[in-house]
């Protein structure tokens, strides 16, 4: 990944369920530990249900690494930071 390149992450949730809130908090914690640049967007599928089909989201919460390509996805509350980093192939964690 180029030094200036921003990693774009999209977290799909459904309302303010315990799992959704946990995923948001865990993602914030993970991103704070990384020294790369991240752009995070949270999409509530209860407010925008059409995006689930358009973006092929079959379970929630789902985290998608949109950029850099290729797209990578991880499903769950993101409580295992190491698994998240490996699954999304992001670098910068100690």
Q: Is residue 63 included in any domain, yes or no?
A: yes
Residue 53 domain boundaries = 7-87
Q: Is residue 27 included in any domain, yes or no?
A: yes
Q: Is residue 40 included in any domain, yes or no?
A: yes
Q: Position of tokens 């303010």?
A: 16
Q: The domain spanning residue 53 has which CATH number?
A: 3.40.30.10
Q: Is residue 2 included in any domain, yes or no?
A: no
pLDDT above 90 (res 92):
no
State mean pLDDT over 9-21: 95
Instruction: Give the pLDDT score at 85.
Output: 87
Taking only Cα atoms into account, the Rg of the chain, rounded to an integer number of angstroms, comes to: 13
What does pLDDT average to over the chain? 87
Q: Is residue 83 included in any domain, yes or no?
A: yes
Q: How many domains does the chain have?
A: 1
Under 8 Å between Cβ of 85 and 30: yes
Instruction: Give the distance from CA 65 to its chain's centroid.
Output: 6
Instruction: Give the pLDDT score at 40.
Output: 92
* pLDDT tens-digit series, residues 17-59: 999 999 999 999 988 877 667 889 999 999 999 999 999 999 9
């Amino acid at each position: 990944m180029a030094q200036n390149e921003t990693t774009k992450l999209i977290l799909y949730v459904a309302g303010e369920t315990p799992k959704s809130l946990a995923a948001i908090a865990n993602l914030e914690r993970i991103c704070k530990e990384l020294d790369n640049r991240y752009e995070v967007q949270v999409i509530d599928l209860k407010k925008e249900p059409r995006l689930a089909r358009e973006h092929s989201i079959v379970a929630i919460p789902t985290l998608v690494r949109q950029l850099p390509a290729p797209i990578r996805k991880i499903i769950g509350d993101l409580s295992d930071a190491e698994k998240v980093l490996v699954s999304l192939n992001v670098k910068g964690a100690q």
